[in-house]
Structure 1
């Protein structure tokens, strides 16, 4: 066994893809789910092949090889197709051409993405039979690999099509990023009005797709260059499919070093693409929330522990709310109605408003006329109004002469608690 790291790398890569999967499933993002689907099965195929054919080229599990070689062909097209679907959607969200997302428009977009991410790869898998020279190849330590009769139809189908999808993806990613740079100030509000994405998620999707396609263009170009070294003309169907049922076997000791290098580079392309995806989505805020939820579920359901989430524990203690600055009124001061609205719902511990002395010795009518607002507007609850009633009732005369105490200025009354928190 020349590559003991192969099964370890592929198994870890396949399992790590499940970390960001729940968020994409709930969001209904068909393109991202398709990317996980194809990368997962590509890693599983490489994992099984690296174990079954470790140090041997035995012809076993023929049906497995017939299926997996087609899946490998489809995965080469599915990954750039999924990235293209992501970037097209992001460009539409950021452009002025986009409209508000409705249920019907979302379903229509999901159907288009499903056709692009699953329908197109299946078509390519079926068309590969036209350029399939023989059944498949078995390579020591690598397992089953698809056989391709390198001719101009094969170049267009197997290598040019993924390159075209990757170039289109980079174009839409550039356009989406340009929209973001032109309207950085109101971009967040513009984005929230059209989808559930945030600016951080938006940029993460764009950068991930661009990095995937730059990597994909490099790998596909290298594979195309190496394939053209064995280019043959496509003569006729009988010649291309002559002795179609044969299975070629490649032993490491008898295989040219150039071919082994090509095989190893293309093999590592799948784990690298997988970890590009994982690094962008498995360590974000959404993924961390998923991990915490899984841990809490395990502790509650399996370990039967009484777990209290942190935010619930803090709120039960009675944490102080954040103070928001009230809006500015047309006179340059703070809006009185905003202060009243902010005070509603607070505890009765708010200090009462002292009564304003009257301008002259009057009865109840004169006292009430001197106050532009009722006392209940400034209190936290209606029960506090009793603390603001003048001694002796409203019919009793004020205890002081107006000439001794001028009328205080009419300014907003601040909550003492709010000043302590500011």
Structure 2
């Protein structure tokens, strides 16, 4: 049975998570905008997978599964790693954006919780232009540039170009070794740990000054309202807690099921790189299939939670009113004529009132 409900939920989630983006764009909140972008990418990618490979394991849409080519920069980067890499003639392929999101989401959460912890400090002070510039580039590197560097490093431990699972589509093929654990899992797990620490600091500070919370934000130079802070904290904690639990569960399950392979050599890991394994539903245990369905729902829940937290705020409703006014004016041609009638009414009423006064 195809996962069309995952398809529908993924595309709905991709649309919903983008809706609050105008208000986040105006505040120039790079971590929040990055979370929107990565959730949009993962949900669109996931929804498309469930359509193309519904009830089949055909090797199709290879370029879509790759979403990336080697260029001069990545070639120089891989050569710079020295003797570890013996062949850089293949493209850096295999679910590039999907792998980038595995760094992008926790990195965005680190930047967000770091900011939230700083604004709750009693010693928080306005930052100058240089500090704002440093913060901007730190967040850009962590949320935008580093995810693609991380995706390129994945090629070192990529045993196949990708593999295909029935109903779930193309996935990245990892050669699970201790090198893979330290290079791919440990950094993203560390990001989640750092986010949890910053989140804990924020919660602790808020718990200590519950009664003074509003005064703290009112006097803070951050310009952050109390309701906005709580919404940002809620989405951060959800991302951190769920990410930590899922990472531990998935990795422990994979190690139990397949074990940890030894690192032999670069040539050994990439010997069958051009082969594309396929796995039908019958090859998967029922527990494994359920785990994959649950894993597919996680990005959907992130996106829905983000929309419910930020799509019903005062800033979002202001955007909705502006969009509706634009639609009425430029599509239905209603608002402009109504405005003219209202303007004429405002101009004639004072004259009428004045004539009544003079007659009296």
Query: Which TM-score band applies after superposition, normalised by the shorter structure?
Result: 0.7 to 0.9
Note closer, same or farther for the CA distance 1:239–1:97 as it changes in structure 2 (3 Å cut). farther
Q: Tell me what 2:77 maps to.
A: none
Q: Tell me what 1:2 maps to.
A: 2
How far has the Cα of 1:187 moved from its partner?
Answer: 4.0
Contact 2:103 2:147 in 1 (8 A): yes
Q: Tell me what 1:64 maps to.
A: 64
Q: Which runs of 5+ in 1 are unaligned?
A: 317-422
User: Hey, what's the Cα distance between the residues in 2 that align with 1:245 and 1:37?
Assistant: 30
How far has the Cα of 1:222 moved from its partner?
Answer: 1.1
Contact 1:162 1:220 in 2 (8 A): no
Whichever structure has more helix as a proportion of its residues is 2
Q: Does 1:75 align with 2:104?
A: no
- SS of corresponding position for 2:173: coil
Q: Tell me what 1:178 maps to.
A: 204
How far has the Cα of 1:306 moved from its partner?
Answer: 3.0
How far has the Cα of 1:252 moved from its partner?
Answer: 1.2
Q: Does 1:243 align with 2:269?
A: no
Q: Does 1:168 align with 2:197?
A: no
- SS of corresponding position for 2:159: coil
User: Hey, what's the Cα distance between the residues in 1 that align with 2:131 and 2:204?
Assistant: 24
Report which of the two structures shows the higher radius of gyration computed on alpha carbons.
Answer: 1
Contact 2:6 2:297 in 1 (8 A): no
How far has the Cα of 1:161 moved from its partner?
Answer: 2.3
Match of residue 150, structure 1, among 176, 179, 182: 176
Contact 1:20 1:287 in 2 (8 A): yes
Match of residue 105, structure 1, among 127, 131, 135: 131
Q: Does 1:226 align with 2:261?
A: no
Match of residue 222, structure 2, among 192, 195, 199: 195
Q: Which runs of 5+ in 2 are unaligned?
A: 68-93, 347-360
How far has the Cα of 1:114 moved from its partner?
Answer: 1.0
- SS of corresponding position for 1:135: strand
Q: Does 1:285 align with 2:285?
A: no
Match of residue 164, structure 2, among 124, 129, 138: 138
User: Hey, what's the Cα distance between the residues in 1 that align with 2:66 and 2:193?
Assistant: 31
Q: Tell me what 1:39 maps to.
A: 39
User: Hey, what's the Cα distance between the residues in 1 that align with 2:280 and 2:47?
Assistant: 19
Cα root mean square deviation, aligned: 2.2
User: Hey, what's the Cα distance between the residues in 2 that align with 1:226 and 1:82?
Assistant: 26
Q: Tell me what 2:231 maps to.
A: 204
How far has the Cα of 1:211 moved from its partner?
Answer: 1.6
- SS of corresponding position for 2:9: helix
After superposition, what is the alpha-carbon deviation per residue over 1:396-421, rounded to whole angstroms, capped at 9, x for unaligned?
xxxxxxxxxxxxxxxxxxxxxxxxxx
Match of residue 121, structure 1, among 147, 168, 174: 147
User: Hey, what's the Cα distance between the residues in 1 that align with 2:301 and 2:137?
Assistant: 29
Note closer, same or farther for the CA distance 1:185–1:257 as it changes in structure 2 (3 Å cut). closer
How far has the Cα of 1:174 moved from its partner?
Answer: 1.6
Q: Does 1:215 align with 2:242?
A: yes
After superposition, what is the alpha-carbon deviation per residue over 1:118-141, rounded to whole angstroms, capped at 9, x for unaligned?
222112101111111111001111
Q: Does 1:300 align with 2:326?
A: no
Q: TM-score, normalised by structure 1?
A: 0.70
User: Hey, what's the Cα distance between the residues in 2 that align with 1:301 and 1:288?
Assistant: 20
Contact 1:84 1:166 in 2 (8 A): yes
After superposition, what is the alpha-carbon deviation per residue over 1:173-219, rounded to whole angstroms, capped at 9, x for unaligned?
12122223333455444434311211111121112201221111111
How far has the Cα of 1:12 moved from its partner?
Answer: 0.4
Contact 1:10 1:46 in 2 (8 A): yes
Note closer, same or farther for the CA distance 1:101–1:236 as it changes in structure 2 (3 Å cut). same
Q: Tell me what 1:264 maps to.
A: 293
How far has the Cα of 1:261 moved from its partner?
Answer: 2.6
How far has the Cα of 1:262 moved from its partner?
Answer: 2.9
- SS of corresponding position for 1:90: helix
Q: Does 1:255 align with 2:284?
A: yes
User: Hey, what's the Cα distance between the residues in 2 that align with 1:234 and 1:158?
Assistant: 15
Q: Does 1:13 align with 2:26?
A: no
Contact 2:2 2:50 in 1 (8 A): no
User: Hey, what's the Cα distance between the residues in 2 that align with 1:123 and 1:172?
Assistant: 25
Specify which structure has the bigger relative contact order, considering alpha-carbon pairs within 8 angstroms and separated by 6 or more residues: 2
Counterparts of 1:262-411 in structure 2, within 5 Å, are 262-306=291-335
